[in-house]
Chain A
Amino acid sequence: MKKILAVDDSASMRQMVSFTLKKAGFDVTEAKDGSEALSLAKQQGYDAVISDVNMPVMDGITLIRELRALPSYKFTPLLMLTTESGLDKKSEGKAAGATGWIVKPFNPEQLLAVLKKVIR
């Protein structure tokens, strides 16, 4: 079972992402900010990370930069959840090593459709 790390400071969003992915057969771990996600990711490998951008403590872009610098996350799909108004963030994210982005708002179907680009 593919393991996904879902990172978001909003509990409802995190629950929705996690529920959707679990229903699609993924093993999901949740984290509420970048720093929690980073320490989880260092403990074990994930097949993909989906992270919100705006978060307290450590934002999503920093998380992606930190993860990409780890040897075990060199090729791992790292997706960021961004909003249509934050699209200038996508280039910042790409520069940090993000694989791609999912534009909020999205529904579960869109999430899974987009995820298919990087993980099967």
Chain B
Amino acid sequence: MSIDLSQFFEVFFEESFEGLDAMEAELLNLRPGEEDSETINTIFRAAHSIKGGSGTFGFTSVSDFTHVLETLLDQIRDGRRKLTSEHINLLLQSVDCLRAMLSALQNQSEPDPTESQKLKAQFEAILGIESEAGGEEVLSEAEPDKLTFQIDFKPHAHLFKTGNEPLYMIGELAELGDLETQAFHDGIPPFDEFNAEDCYLAWRFFLTTTAPETAIHEVFEWVEDDADISVQLCGGLFEEFDDDLDKEIAATISSKDTPKSVETIEHEPAENITAQVKEEKAPSATAAAQPALSAKPSTSTPKTQDNTSTSIRVGIDKVDSLINMVGELVITQAMLSQLGEQDMTDSTISALQEGLAQLAHNTRDLQESVMRIRMLPISFVFSRFPRLVRDISQKLNKQVELKLLGEQTELDKTVMEKISDPMVHLVRNSLDHGIETPEQRIAAGKDPVGTLTLNAFHQGGNIVIEIMDDGQGLNTDKIKQKAIANGLINEDDELSSEEVNELIFRPGFSTADTVSDISGRGVGMDVVRRNIQALNGSVEVSSARGVGSTFTIRLPLTLAILDGQLVQVAEHTYIIPLISIVESLQIDVKKVSRVGKNLDVLRLRDEYIPILRLFDIFNHDGAIEELDKSLLVVVESDNQKVGLLVDDLLAQQQVVIKSLEANYKRVDGISGATILGDGRVSLIIDISGLVKLSGLRKPGSQELVLDPNLAEAIS
């Protein structure tokens, strides 16, 4: 029987990665000298499972490497070796290495052995094992001779209670070659002493085979301690029968006189053993023992295609709720189609309207349930931080305690994947710039151990992620000086501390005096902000000198659906994300002034709002061009407000976002498209892109062309 093992690979990889995550998390909890056995056990089990699985599925590079890990862990577990921080470091590196190896294998390429060999050598140095350079010893390939063995097998009385069955063992022996069987039944006691659960029989076999003696021992491997077994080579069947030997064996088999009790049972054995045995002579056991070569992944031709078909695990409650919703939907549909067949009267029309309302309700519920399927707890992102914080704080000689809050807060998988990098950057920053060294902290009267907190929670339709540290806070003086030096602000500019803090998000801005290993390499906060904005999110910072800083990231729960305001521009319908709309108003033309060549600004309370004419930007004819007859939708993006001039406001509704890039190409000022109820395609406005497109923004800057001084001048 051949079984294609590759069908189990995906599950194996999935659980191995989970195992590695668990190992990593537990390793990070370990403190040398105060380790508890359950933690070590969990780590051991994970390593052990990966080893067992990789060996079984033919990933020998992984199983070889895991072997040394497991050996070390086993020794620690048994108390034969004391856990040191060196061990923890090495084990953590091994987790990384195994992850890389498994990823390579998952992509059907052979892992790079450099790292694993290096680590393996370190393990072997600890364990005191000589590296086996030669590999397996080559077995001599001499032609096996046909030999005859005499095998005596006397099970102890309790053999059946081990679950073993002599009949099957005899069958196995028969598969090795020609088998002659004799049974000794003189051990059977008188009837009144007979215990049906005990084994009283003994056997002598003559096996003529080309198989090695070890194969015979293997047959009895499980019962070595539950029986008297002897295997001896003899010249041939009954030919060179050694009398002394015979007596000796007879003595072990039975204390009684042998000649009477030995019975040749070749043709009519007890339990028909021989008959059964003779039929199964084909020695298939050796062939079966060959490893399944076909099951190994082809290593010579790694597939270039990226076949990382990802999967997510969904709680059964979510699936149940979906099934419920679909049930509701089916009922509503049945009701509607029944109504559709009837003649239209006032009562059917009102029933129809009711049905449609029901349908809308069902659809909304269904949609929410479907969205929930892609929601995963943010612990998927948080879980990588304990390791990161440990490594970085070790490198920086800082003591940091990481607190994770709201780990169960759910977030769409696609958002999750994209938020992790910006978060890593913020965490690195907090560790590098925020939290002080233990000496500095003691000098400042603080606990030498700093605290970094990651907190996630839902607020409205958003998820909020906070990265808080109790470090020294942002140095506003330094930021200001740096900004002046970079020409971002003027020396005499009066800025609030919030405005100063905002400066760190400017491109090319870094307050690090020296470029360190951790941060300050020029990939700055501007990239962080841009990446978060690409997710329709925002990031801001608040900070108090000497107390700490908090970075707050706000993200929509999902990227696939958006609450939109439909607006009319000429005969076209556009969608403005509701989240960015501040207000919509009719323009008081008296408050509009012209700035520069063709930019109008509206004075709204004490702000100046640049007016962007959508029909102009998108080249539509037939739109209302008079300011007093159209409407202005004031939106906020990048902390700047602009007004979008539209003909009319239509409905607000949730829209399903379709990628324009995937279906057509990237269009400036447009973030995506959706299909409206009437089947038309409507474009979703990307406010930040639109501002850039309109030429309102200075190149390479977040700042609008509109100069506050100029605005003063107009008023």
Contacts and interface: CB of A to CB of B under 8 A. Distances in A.
B312 interface: no
Interface string B511-550: 0000000000000000000000000000000000000000
Contact of A13 (B9, B53, B221, B289): B53
A117 B5 contact: no
A10 B53 contact: yes
Contact of B1 (A48, A55, A112): A112
Contacts of B160: 75
Interface string B1-20: 11101011101101100000
Given A12-B8, A15-B8, A109 B55 contact: no
B45 interface: yes
A118 B164 contact: yes
B265 to A, nearest CB: 21
A83 interface: yes
A85 B162 contact: no
B455 interface: no
Interface in B1-56: 1-3, 5, 7-9, 11-12, 14-15, 42, 44-45, 48-49, 51-56
A94 B222 CA distance: 9
Nearest to A76: B163
A110 interface: yes
A104 interface: yes
B11 A12 contact: yes
B650 interface: no
Interface stretch (B166-174, B178-186, B620-628): B166-174
B288 A110 contact: yes
B45 A12 contact: no
A13 B70 contact: no
B51 A83 contact: yes
B221 A120 contact: no
Contacts of B288: 109-110, 112-113
B45 A55 contact: yes
Given A104-B55, A107-B292, A110-B288, A117 B3 contact: no
A116 B171 contact: yes
Centre residue among B49, B51, B52 by max chain A CB count within 10 A: B52
Interface string B67-95: 10011001000000000000000000000
Interface in B141-163: 160-163
B170 to A, nearest CB: 11
A72 to B, nearest CB: 12
A48 to B, nearest CB: 8
A20 interface: yes
Given A83-B52, A117-B169, A94 B225 contact: yes
Contacts of A16: 3, 5, 8, 56-57
B285 interface: yes
Contacts of A106: 56
Contact of B56 (A13, A68, A97): A13
Interface string A85-107: 11000000010011111001111
B273 to A, nearest CB: 13
B289 A110 contact: yes
Contacts of B172: 116-117
B78 to A, nearest CB: 10
B165 interface: yes
A45 interface: no
Contact of A77 (B71, B164, B219): B164
B291 interface: yes
A77 B163 contact: yes
A60 B15 CA distance: 20
Nearest to B60: A105
B357 to A, nearest CB: 45
Given A16-B8, A116-B172, A78 B55 contact: no
B696 to A, nearest CB: 56
Interface residues of B, number: 50
Contacts, number: 134
A23 to B, nearest CB: 6
Contact of A99 (B51, B162, B219, B295): B162
Q: Which of A16, A81, A106, A107 has the most CB of B within 10 A?
A: A107
Nearest to B54: A105
A78 B48 contact: no
B225 A107 contact: no
B63 interface: yes
Contacts of A97: 161-163
B606 to A, nearest CB: 63
Contacts of A56: 42, 45
A105 B71 CA distance: 16
A55 B41 CA distance: 10
Nearest to B11: A12
Nearest to A67: B163
A99 B222 contact: yes
Nearest to B292: A107
B291 A107 contact: yes
A104 B56 contact: yes
A62 interface: no
B286 to A, nearest CB: 10
B168 A116 contact: yes
Contacts of B289: 109-110, 113
Contacts of A119: 168
B5 A108 contact: yes
A11 to B, nearest CB: 5
A52 B53 CA distance: 12
A80 B224 CA distance: 17
Given A23-B3, A54-B44, A107 B56 contact: yes
Interface string B218-230: 0101100100000
A81 B225 CA distance: 19
A74 B11 contact: no
Contacts of A19: 3, 7-8
A72 B291 CA distance: 36
B182 to A, nearest CB: 21
A118 B163 contact: yes
B285 A100 contact: no
Contacts of A30: none
Interface of B: 1-3, 5, 7-9, 11-12, 14-15, 42, 44-45, 48-49, 51-57, 63, 67, 70-71, 74, 160-165, 168-169, 171-172, 197, 219, 221-222, 225, 285, 288-292, 295
Interface of A: 9-13, 15-16, 19-20, 23-24, 48, 52, 54-56, 68, 74-78, 81, 83, 85-86, 94, 97-101, 104-110, 112-113, 116-120
18 contacts: A10-B12, A15-B11, A24-B1, A54-B45, A75-B197, A77-B163, A81-B52, A83-B48, A83-B52, A86-B74, A99-B162, A100-B164, A105-B54, A105-B63, A108-B5, A113-B285, A116-B171, A120-B168
Given A99-B162, A99-B222, 18 more contacts: A10-B49, A11-B11, A15-B11, A19-B3, A19-B8, A56-B45, A75-B197, A86-B48, A86-B74, A94-B162, A97-B163, A98-B163, A104-B51, A107-B56, A109-B292, A113-B288, A117-B172, A118-B168
